[in-house]
Structure 1
Amino acid sequence: MDSRILKKVRQCLALAKQATNEHEAAAAMRQAQNLMRKHKISESDIDFSYVQHERVETDCKKVVSYHAALLHLIKRVFGVRFVMSSSLFSNSEVSFIGINPQPELAKYCYEVLWTKLKQTRQEYVKQQPKQCKRATKVARGDRFAEGWVFGIARTVEEFALSEKETSIIERYLAQEFPDLTSSATLKRGKKANTKKAVLDGIAAGRQESLHRPVNGQEHQKLNHNLGA
């Protein structure tokens, strides 16, 4: 469907809603309806034209606990939904879906945070005593990373979506991903002694600052605050 026509219809609908003169509002609404009839555009087509779908490759074949925590943080901060898909022949892919421009911002923030999180976790694992079993080091690294995400999460607020925006996203997901299912998160080393690792992660995460990027300058600010 021609994006220019959709944009024109949206402009007419916006004018009809915002116009203070009832004649102007009626004229704008008639123009929108005429365009919709002529080009066979439904209300759902208009609603879905606001939806943006951003994809990014990730190196995780399975969603481990701290990766899931990060994805849910991005979901809350930017008001998006995420879908993860995997293939035997290519890297896994995360899709961020929401109202434009939030998914693009979510994707950018995810890429920065995921790189930073993996690096910080790896450094923490290297600090563990040499006599520790590998499974214990992995578990402590995971719990540290979970704490790190929790520490950052305490500094940000959720992005509030309107009921209509939420409805549009949910309907879009139902149409584009009809076979979507939930998958279990992998939590490793449940029996390992990891309490200190969680607290260390929270303390480290609180040292970071997360800003919602809105333009190039905000992108630079995000990189600076996260040490990227």
Structure 2
Amino acid sequence: MTEDKKRILEKIRKCMALGSSANEHEAAAAMRQARKLMDMHGLTNEHVELSELGKETTASEHVNPPLWAAALQTVIARAFQCSAFSGRHRAIFVGRAENAKVAAYTYEVLMRQIKSARQAYTAERVPVWLSPAQKKKVSQGYCEGWVSSVQQSVREFAAPLRDEEDEKHQRFMEEETGNGPIPEAKPRKSVSERHSLARQASYAGAVDGEKVSLHHGVNRGEEAFRLAQLA
């Protein structure tokens, strides 16, 4: 979306906001101005609705995220009423602008935490004689368990994202990329379900993941969420 289009849409939103004024003449004039701008620039109500959304992108170490990384991004997105999208070395959150920002920040914080926890587990409890391939499976199993505990914590408060909101986020991404419908992510397989060492690691990861609490907050005078790392 060009900067000119963004400015026009912002003007339209302001006019529409004035359209709810208690002053009937002011409200009518504002709505006429909004409609005039929309007609002049070939914009629809859907364009205005989509302009209220925002996209936040944060770096990811993965080209094709494993199950645990994709699940973590999805659960964070749902916690903040966003939709999750992935790119090469990117995690993308789309939703209300303020929600998308908090979701991206939360993702960065939790990714740092899970990597730190994984590193500690690997150093302290993974046998040195395992092959690199086995160590990778154990590492992924640990992360799967860790994320599963965070998912349980989020389910306690997160409201489900309505289908119409998810569809609106999809249309927003289509407008942003200009590439048409966004393809669905390929399903990932669980490592811990197929390998005994990874399954054992997932139990330890689940215990450590229970120490993370993601819950509501009321800071900065706006509806937001707060991330707390419990000791």
TM-score by length of 1: 0.80
Shift of 1:185: 2.3
Which blocks of at least 5 consecutive residues in structure 2 are unaligned? Answer: none
CA distance in 2, matches of 1:162, 1:69: 19
Tell me if structure 2 keeps the 8 A contact 1:51–1:99. Answer: yes
- 1:59-78 per-position Cα deviation (integer Å, ceiling 9, x unaligned): 12331121112111112111
Structure 1 residue 142 and structure 2 residue 144: aligned? no
Amino acid at match of 1:66: W
The counterpart of 1:26, out of the listed 25, 28, 32, is 28
Query: Structure 1 CA distance, aligned partners of 2:61 and 2:206?
Result: 24
SS of residue matched to 2:85 = strand
Which is richer in strand? 2
Instruction: Report if aligned partners of 2:67, 2:144 keep a CA contact under 8 Å in 1.
Output: yes
Distance 1:226 1:153 in 2: 16
Greater relative contact order (CA < 8 Å, ≥ 6 in sequence): 1
Aligned ranges for residues 5-24 of structure 1 at < 5 Å? 5-16=8-19, 18-20=20-22, 22-24=24-26
- Aligned-partner SS, 2:196: coil
Q: Secondary structure at the match of 2:153?
A: coil
**Aligned ranges 1:116-127 → 2 under 5 Å:** 116-126=113-123, 127=125
| Alignment correspondent of 1:158 | 158
Partner deviation per Cα, 1:158-184 (whole Å, 9 max, x = no partner): 245456544421322344342532224
> Under a length normalisation based on structure 2, what TM-score does the superposition of the two structures give?
0.79
Contact kept? 1:139, 1:192, Cα under 8 Å: no
Contact 1:82/1:94 (CA < 8 Å) preserved in 2?
yes
Equivalent residue pairs, number: 220
* Local SS of the residue matching 1:28: helix
Of 50, 55, 58, the residue aligned with 2:57 is 55
The residue identity in structure 2 corresponding to 1:99 is R
* One-letter amino acid of the counterpart of residue 145, structure 1: C
Mean Cα deviation higher: 127-136 or 64-73: 127-136
Q: Distance in 1 between matches of 2:182 and 2:6?
A: 27
Which runs of no fewer than 5 residues in structure 1 stay unpaired? 87-91
CA distance in 2, matches of 1:193, 1:7: 55
- Look up the match of 1:210: 214
Conserved 8 A contact 1:13-1:32: yes
Between 187-196 and 63-72, report the one with greater CA deviation. 187-196
| C-alpha RMSD of matched pairs (Å) | 3.1
Cα offset, 1:188, TM superposition:
4.2
Contact 1:48 1:172 in 2 (8 A): yes
- Given that 1:155 and 1:209 are in contact with CA atoms closer than 8 Å, whether structure 2 keeps it comes out as yes
Counterpart contact for 1:210–1:226, Cα < 8 Å: no
CA contact (8 A) 1:147 1:205 kept: yes
Q: Of the candidates 155, 163, 182, which is equivalent to residue 180 of structure 1?
A: 182
Change (3 A) 1:29 1:186: same
Contact 1:66 1:142 (C-alpha < 8 Å) held by counterparts: yes
User: SS of the counterpart of 1:61?
Assistant: coil
Q: Deviations over 1:70-101 (max 9, x none)?
A: 11111211122222222xxxxx1222122211
Moved more, 149-158 or 2-11: 2-11
Aligned counterparts of 2:230 and 2:220: Cα–Cα separation in 1? 16
1:187, distance to aligned residue in structure 2 (A): 4.4
Q: Which amino acid aligns with 1:49?
A: S
Q: Tell whether 2:204 aligns with 1:200.
A: yes
Identity of aligned residues (%): 30
2:47 and 2:26 mapped to 1: Cα distance?
24
